[in-house]
């Protein structure tokens, strides 16, 4: 099949076929739109993009570099070598080559500088690793004067985390899953530019642009059951992912702007609460004065 521009198509989205170039353009405009929609990055910011070498963070950093002028940002990269044998060695190599090709300044921090590596951790390696990454990203960004740390979390990562947190009874999570978290105390602002973008779209962008990336999964990573579940649910309830992502953002807005209903005085996020609007719409004889 052919793209509207006449070239060979690589993908069908909705009713349209796309060639590599047209797909990349569409991808970049989707990333730009969601960055603007959610205020994920702001004009004038120095962005530290955390890159692991995997498809998502590779797509993110390449997209941010291309959008630098349009968004008025400056992008540099950070890779953390976690000391997971051959996997970490290859990851660092990929990041170096990628940033070299894209002309992005790359900073590399070795976890071993702090006296241990993830290979030293026998139990709960993923949680120790997650903590180490967050610690180093934040500390490095603050000490080097960056305004915001961007990570390559994609739509499936965020939704999988919602499910996981619900299951484990962790209720302080929703704020961490927002597309942008403003900095406070010694925390630098955090951003997820690919919040709304699916991992398959990221992979296709990386392939279209022939960017180098590491397809290997981390040897310490647990199985991907939560992400698999997201696909299962999405198949049964099309639009589930988008619904969860949008409601995370909406919830935050609602909680942020509560006021008193103009009619009854009960708390609401709108001028007149939903109940009073229903009373007006459906009510015949009013027994209880509002
Ligand atoms: P993960 O925690 O592996 O799901 O990765 C989430 C995001 O964290 C990635 O998209 C990257 O932006 C960032 N990240 C993960 N591993 C590294 C690493 N070794 N160095 C720098 N950033 C990383
Ligand atoms: Zn085309």
Query: Is any ligand 1 atom within 6 A of the Cβ of residue 150?
Result: no
pLDDT tens per residue, range 129-186: 999 999 999 999 999 999 999 999 999 999 999 998 888 887 667 778 999 999 999 9
pLDDT given at position 278? 87
Q: Whose CA is nearest to atom 6 of ligand 1?
A: 153
In a 13 Å sphere around the CA of 289, the CA atoms on its Cβ side amount to: 0
Q: CA of 190: how far to CAs of 15, 158, 180, 224, in Å?
A: 36, 14, 6, 24
Average the pLDDT over each of 56-60, 120-124, 134-138, 231-235 and give the range with the smallest value: 120-124
Q: What number of H helices and E strands is found in the chain?
A: 9, 10
CA of 243 to the centre of ligand 1 (A): 25
What's the rounded Cα separation, in Å, for the pair 168 and 164?
6
Q: Which ligand is nearest to the CA of 26?
A: 2
In a 13 Å sphere around the CA of 217, the CA atoms on its Cβ side amount to: 7
Ramachandran bin of 209, using left for φ above 0, alpha for ψ from -120 to 50, beta for the remaining angles: alpha
pLDDT tens per residue, range 92-131: 999 999 999 999 999 999 999 999 999 998 888 888 899 9
Among residues of the chain, what percentage have pLDDT more than 70?
Answer: 94
91, 83 contact by CB (below 8 A): no
Residue with tokens 């209880």: 288
- Alpha-carbon Rg of the chain, whole angstroms? 22
The length of the chain, given as a count of residues: 290
Helix%, strand%, coil% for the chain, nearest 5 = 50, 15, 35
Task: Tell me if residue 37 falls in helix, strand or coil.
Answer: helix
pLDDT band at residue 52 using 50, 70 and 90 as cut-offs: very high
237, 225 contact by CB (below 8 A): no
Question: What contacts 149, CB < 8 A, 6 or more positions away?
Answer: 47, 48, 49, 50, 78, 137, 138, 141, 188, 189, 190, 191
Among residues of the chain, what percentage have pLDDT more than 90?
Answer: 75
Mutation choice for ligand 1 from 50, 55, 132, CB with most ligand atoms inside 8 A: 50
Query: Is any ligand 1 atom within 6 A of the Cβ of residue 160?
Result: no
pLDDT at 266 over 60: yes
Mutation choice for ligand 1 from 48, 57, 95, 117, CB with most ligand atoms inside 8 A: 57
Question: What contacts 187, CB < 8 A, 6 or more positions away?
Answer: 138
pLDDT at 193 over 80: yes
pLDDT given at position 251? 65
pLDDT given at position 153? 97
pLDDT given at position 256? 62
pLDDT given at position 97? 98
Query: Is any ligand 1 atom within 6 A of the Cβ of residue 202?
Result: no
Atom of ligand 1 nearest to the CA of 50: 22
CA of 33 to the centre of ligand 2 (A): 20
pLDDT band at residue 204 using 50, 70 and 90 as cut-offs: very high
What's the rounded Cα separation, in Å, for the pair 40 and 37?
8
Query: Mean of the pLDDT values across residues 218-227?
Result: 84
Q: Which ligand is nearest to the CA of 24?
A: 2
Tokens for 207?
């392939």
Q: Whose CA is nearest to atom 2 of ligand 1?
A: 130
What's the rounded Cα separation, in Å, for the pair 272 and 187?
37
pLDDT tens per residue, range 8-35: 999 998 889 999 999 999 999 999 999 9
pTM, to two decimals: 0.88
Tokens for 200?
């398959």
């Amino acid at each position: 099949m052919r793209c509207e521009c006449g070239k060979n198509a690589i993908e069908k989205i909705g009713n349209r076929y796309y060639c590599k170039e047209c797909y990349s353009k569409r991808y970049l405009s989707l990333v730009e739109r969601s960055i603007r929609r959610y205020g994920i990055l702001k004009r004038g910011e120095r962005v530290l993009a955390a890159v692991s070498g995997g498809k998502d963070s590779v797509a993110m950093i390449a997209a941010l570099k291309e959008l630098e002028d349009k968004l008025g940002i400056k992008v540099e990269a950070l890779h953390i070598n976690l000391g997971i044998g051959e996997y970490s060695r290859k990851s660092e190599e990929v990041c170096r080559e990628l940033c070299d090709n894209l002309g992005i300044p790359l900073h590399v921090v070795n976890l071993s500088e702090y006296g241990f590596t993830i290979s030293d951790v026998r139990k709960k390696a993923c949680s120790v690793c997650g903590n180490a990454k967050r610690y180093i990203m934040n500390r490095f960004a603050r000490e080097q004067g960056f305004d915001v740390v961007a990570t390559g979390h994609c739509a499936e990562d965020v939704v999988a985390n919602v499910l996981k947190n619900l299951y484990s009874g962790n209720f302080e999570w929703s704020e961490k899953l927002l597309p942008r978290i403003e900095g406070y105390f010694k925390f630098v602002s955090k951003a997820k530019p690919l919040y709304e973008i699916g991992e398959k779209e990221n992979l296709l962008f990386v392939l279209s642009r022939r960017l180098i990336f590491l397809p290997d999964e981390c040897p310490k990573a647990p199985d991907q059951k939560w992400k698999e579940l997201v696909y299962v649910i999405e198949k049964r309830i099309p639009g589930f992912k988008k619904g969860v992502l949008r409601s995370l953002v909406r919830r935050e807005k609602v909680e942020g702007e509560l006021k008193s209903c103009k009619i009854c005085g009960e708390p609401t996020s709108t001028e007149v609460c939903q109940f009073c609007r229903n009373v007006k719409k459906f009510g015949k004889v009013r027994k209880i004065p509002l």
